[in-house]
Amino acid sequence: MKNVTILFVILLQLALSAGSGRNEVCIEWVSKALKAEGLEHKTFQSDIIEGEASFHIYLPKQYYQSPEKRLPVMYWLHGSGGKPSQDYRAGGGRGPAAISKHFGTAMQEGKIPPMIIVYPNGLRKGMWVDSKDGKTPVESLVIKELIPHIDKNFRTIADNSGRLIAGHSAGGYGAARLGFKYPELFCAVSMRGAGPLQEVFVPERGPEGNARTRGRVLRKIYGSDQEYFKRLSPLYLAEKNAEKIRKNLQIRQIIGEKDYCLPANIEFHRHLEALDIPHEFTILDSVKHDTHQLMQVLGESSSYWQFYRSVFGSLKTFEQAESR
């Protein structure tokens, strides 16, 4: 009987150890490499996670054609459930390859200034925050390590005038909260179909299809703590840093008419208005919560491209960068 008890204890310990290992494996700080024209997969050593972390980077043709010049950077944050090495859902058109083609073509056609695009690895459900339990410090990794790494290893305009942060869905939420929390690091924020932008984050409130996901994210990322969620939210950060945001950031908010995030986006728009924070707010007719559909519709709009020209200015920006 004693031997049976010992065997049971050993098996239980092994099972718990295996379970813990599986949890660690799920934190994929190094994603699979995605191959596409102009797109590269890179890794760097992180002190924060004590290991390697990956990112994808798109370097436009102008980066190689003019090696004496520096270029601005757009940090593109992917949505929840996606990974930077995927096109996210069946049919593609939503990942770094499609996004790079979308912007790369516009650069070649002269619609927007040439820019580097960085795709950080925000994990499947990292939400672009430091989780309350400390296991997924995505925010710290991006702000404290990735941005300095990019500026050190690529020819960037290494100040806030050369950084735009953008994203779709949870990536739009991440772009808003990181841009609003660190307005001294960026010159612009672009949100598409951003969420969660609501004040309270619970499974019972929001799109029915996402209820279970909200529950898991609330537990794993925010520790089931509504106050923690609130302190990290773009709503709260807009209030806290309103003066700096007004001074430093150009802000654009785009949402589809049929996007389930529309109600919260309208409330967020009104919140920014109440704080007297200038921003562009656009509702696109008949558009759902779909990056690919958004890009198709927006690509035909001259005002859409004008935002990037306004943010990064004329070619003088790049000429001045040569002397830095």
Task: Determine the pLDDT at residue 211.
Answer: 64
Q: Measure Cα distances from 300 to 81, 90, 96, 106, 154 in Å.
A: 28, 24, 20, 11, 31
One-letter amino acid for residue 7 of the chain: L
Domain interval for residue 254: 31-321
Tell me if 18 is assigned to some domain.
no
Quick one: which H or E segment has residue 54? strand 51-58
- Per DSSP, the residues of 250-297 read EEEEEEETT-TTHHHHHHHHHHHHHTT---EEEEETT--S-HHHHHHH
130-163 pLDDT, tens per residue?
A: 999 999 999 999 999 999 999 999 999 999 999 9
25 part of a folded domain: no
Residue 211 lies in a domain: yes
Number of structural domains in the chain:
1
Residue 47 lies in a domain: yes
**CATH number (domain holding residue 262):** 3.40.50.1820
Mean pLDDT calculated for residue range 102-122: 95
Q: Average pLDDT over the chain, rounded to whole?
A: 86
> Which tens digit of pLDDT belongs to each residue from 228-284?
999 999 999 999 999 999 999 999 999 999 999 999 999 999 999 999 999 999 999
Task: Indicate if the pLDDT at residue 15 is higher than 60.
Answer: no
Half-sphere exposure of 177 (CA within 13 A, CB side): 29
Q: Confirm if 95 and 34 have CB atoms less than 8 A apart.
A: yes
More confident residue, 117 or 198: 117
> Can you say whether the dihedral through the CA atoms of 86, 89, 92, 93 is positive or negative?
negative
| Distance between CA atoms of residues 173 and 261, nearest Å | 11
pLDDT at residue 304 is higher than 80: yes
Tell whether 252 is covered by a domain. Answer: yes
Least confident of 14-18, 42-46, 123-127: 14-18
User: For residues 107 and 89, what is the distance between their CA atoms, to the nearest angstrom?
Assistant: 26
Q: What is the pLDDT of residue 215?
A: 79
Please tell me the pTM assigned to this model.
0.87
Rounded to an integer, what distance in angstroms lies between the CA atom of residue 128 and that of residue 324? 31
Residue 117: pLDDT band (50, 70, 90) is very high
Q: What is the DSSP letter of 37?
A: T
250 found inside a domain: yes
Residue 12 lies in a domain: no
Domain membership flag for residue 10? no
Q: Between the CA of residue 44 and those of 50, 125, 131, what are the distances in Å?
A: 11, 21, 21
Which of 17-21, 47-51, 176-180, 293-297 has the least mean pLDDT?
17-21
